[in-house]
């Protein structure tokens, strides 16, 4: 199966390219200071920044003026070092640190994030009060030639590319002969590696593929019973300084209450577990018939041990529901489970999942 990645890269970026001649315009053309949006430079990150800009312009006529909004692209350490796993580099905060610095240094006014990349703690002086309407939260399974639709149907000893311990643990729980190898880079880079035969299959968030008009690459979309998604997967968050009244006014108008309630529930679950990149953790919440329904799990990196939980309740109690679910799993797994995760070196964990 050929993905024609060069074409996809060009088309996905073009689909979200600025309508103005340049993302950076002369602020002198705009009477007030421009609203500066900080973002990573990957095609997906830019698609999310342009989506945010579009929504701001739909809500606020003054932001439709030329130069009213400026897209500021920042490189993060997580984007620059691709030959190591996130666990080896120190965690997913690697995708947000440079954005945090720019925000606190008044170099940008708001930052647009994939919420699954945002640590449960935020730097003092910043808030994240806004989530855009959530995309599909599930994982896409992408096979090299499309002939295999499910993880369970992969031949023994197949190689799957993924940088996620959450995915690796659930994959190996299905078939411990499968081999998971570190697979990082933007969506286009990963698809190119798949096309080159480096791995037999990979998994990506279907949300990201949809946002770049690339969901046709998916061989299948896995439901929650096949692969429980990551905390906050499919959600976009917007962060600003806590004393910036102008930015707070703008992004408050974009907040989607149901998405925020579900994301708050999931992030409370993660916070209760004190999750890090050595611990495979999954957690998802949905609002069904006015109630919030949550499912979560933690596992050993090799999938040999897994603890699961579910809960439901009032939407207003979203954070408390997530917190209690995390505390329950923490008690069931016991202190030894988490102590072992902390004590294991990245090499030991990777050794388990790439055997």
Asked if 120 and 61 sit in the same domain, the reply is yes
Separation between Cα atoms, residue 76 and residue 86, nearest integer Å: 13
203, part of any domain: yes
Residue 243 falls within a domain, yes or no? yes
In the residue annotation, 117 being an active-site residue is answered as yes
Q: What string of pLDDT tens digits covers the 355 residues of the chain?
A: 444 343 344 444 444 444 443 333 333 334 479 999 999 998 899 999 999 999 999 999 999 999 999 999 997 654 444 444 445 445 556 568 889 999 999 999 999 999 998 999 899 999 999 999 999 999 999 999 999 999 999 999 999 999 889 999 999 999 999 999 988 677 888 888 898 889 999 999 999 999 989 999 999 999 999 999 999 999 999 999 999 999 999 999 999 999 999 999 999 999 999 755 568 999 999 999 999 999 999 999 889 999 999 999 999 999 999 999 999 999 999 988 887 776 665 545 554 444 4
* Spatial distance between the Cα atoms of 327 and 321, rounded to a whole number of angstroms: 10
d(CA 115, CA 281): 15
Instruction: Give the CATH number for residue 249.
Output: 3.40.190.10
Same domain? For 262 and 123 the reply is no
Helix/strand/coil for 329: helix
pTM of the model: 0.83
Q: Which of 79, 100, 109, 117 is catalytic?
A: 117
Residue range of the domain that includes 164? 139-228
Rounded to 5 degrees, what are φ and ψ at 117? -90, -5
Q: Is residue 202 part of a domain?
A: yes
């Amino acid at each position: 199966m050929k993905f024609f990645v060069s074409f996809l890269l060009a088309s996905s970026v073009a689909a979200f390219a600025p309508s103005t001649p340049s993302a950076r315009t002369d602020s002198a053309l705009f009477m007030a200071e421009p609203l500066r949006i900080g973002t990573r430079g990957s095609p997906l990150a830019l698609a999310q920044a342009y989506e945010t800009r579009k929504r701001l312009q739909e809500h606020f006529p003054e932001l439709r003026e030329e130069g009213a909004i400026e897209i500021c692209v920042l490189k993060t350490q997580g984007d620059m070092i691709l030959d190591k796993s996130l666990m080896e580099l120190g965690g997913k905060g690697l995708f947000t640190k440079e954005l945090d610095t720019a925000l606190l240094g008044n170099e940008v006014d708001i930052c647009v994030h994939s919420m699954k990349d945002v640590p449960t703690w935020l730097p003092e002086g910043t808030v994240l009060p806004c989530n855009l309407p959530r995309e599909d939260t599930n994982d896409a399974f992408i096979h090299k030639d499309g002939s295999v639709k499910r993880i369970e149907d992969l031949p023994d000893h197949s190689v799957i590319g993924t940088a996620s311990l959450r995915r690796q643990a659930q994959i190996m729980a299905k078939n411990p002969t499968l081999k998971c190898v570190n697979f990082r880079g933007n969506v286009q880079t990963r698809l190119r590696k798949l096309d080159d035969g480096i791995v037999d299959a990979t998994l990506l968030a279907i949300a990201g593929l949809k946002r770049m008009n690339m969901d046709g690459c998916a061989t299948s979309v896995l439901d929650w019973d096949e692969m429980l998604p990551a905390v906050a997967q499919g959600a976009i968050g917007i962060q600003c300084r806590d004393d910036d009244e102008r930015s707070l006014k703008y992004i408050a108008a974009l907040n989607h209450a149901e998405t925020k309630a579900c994301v708050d529930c999931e992030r409370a679950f993660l916070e209760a577990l004190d999750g890090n990149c050595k611990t495979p953790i999954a957690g998802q919440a949905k609002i069904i018939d006015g109630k919030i329904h949550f499912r979560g799990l933690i596992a050993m990196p090799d999938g040999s041990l897994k603890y699961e939980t579910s809960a439901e309740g009032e939407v207003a109690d979203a954070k408390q529901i997530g917190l209690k679910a995390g505390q329950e799993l923490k008690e069931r797994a016991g202190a030894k489970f988490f102590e072992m995760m902390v004590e294991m070196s990245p090499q030991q964990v990777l050794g388990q999942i790439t055997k």
